[in-house]
Structure 1
Amino acid sequence: MKTTERVEQAFKRIKELLTLVTDWTKQPKEEDALTKEFREKKLQLIEDLYKQLGELNDRFMFTHESEFKTKEYVVQYDALKKKIHDLEK
């Protein structure tokens, strides 16, 4: 192979690599309907879990200790926080 052919092939490989990098870093212009719906449902689930967490806190603060013990509160609180954390990933 001649030097000019090697240089031309190297330029072609560089061009291919640059197009791959631009494709990987480019953000999609429009999301498809399924992805958009999935993201909205996920956000709604997270919002609902935060509401449940608030209700749990209210229940713990304003009920008698005999009805709702601290251990039950901690178990339920940790379960809700874990669900929220998993969905926010």
Structure 2
Amino acid sequence: MKAHFISGLPRSGSTLLAALLRQNPRFHAAMTSPVGGLVDRMLEAMSEDNECSVFISLEQKLALIMSIFSAYYHPQAEKEVIFDTNRLWCSKLPLI
């Protein structure tokens, strides 16, 4: 699965862009997805604020984050490209 991210300020055209991309049957592009929020909560749970975070390696953290994408987009697995739309991605550029 190739994942691309659509993010922008309100009224910037991201919803229109997703609608245009959806016209191609090889692509999946929906309205705002919950994936950004799920990733944010997972990162929070693995942060230094959690005393158990020292037991989670960097590789495990990456695998856990990737599993969120895999599980959420499993129904669209046949699509060549997944476009995830969420304004939260602007704040997660280093992660992406």
Question: With structure 1 as the length reference, what TM-score do the two structures score?
Answer: 0.36
| Larger strand percent | 2
| Larger helix percent | 1
Say which structure, 1 or 2, has more relative contact order (CA 8 Å, 6+ apart): 2
Larger radius of gyration: 1
Question: With structure 2 as the length reference, what TM-score do the two structures score?
Answer: 0.34
